[in-house]
Amino acid sequence: MRRGEGLPPDEEPGMNAREQALLALWRGLDEQAQLEVQRAAEEKKRLLTLENRLRELEAVVADIKRLA
């Protein structure tokens, strides 16, 4: 038998308590609420990516100024 085969998704190996709790909450929401949560999570991820990229660019600019 393969790892995790036959287990409910909230009992998959490797899922921590926070992930299990989040999945349980997710399953309790209607489809519209799930879409809203998904959009908010996607937006948060996008903002984190932009913030990281901005920090990288700031470091490059600082290096250029230091070398100039």
The residues spanned by each domain of the chain are: 9-67
**Rounded distance, CA 13 to CA 66, Å?**
49
Residue carrying structure tokens 């809203």: 36
pLDDT in tens, 3-40: 445 556 556 678 899 999 999 999 999 999 999 999 99
Contact 9, 23 (CB under 8 A): yes
pTM for this structure?
Answer: 0.67
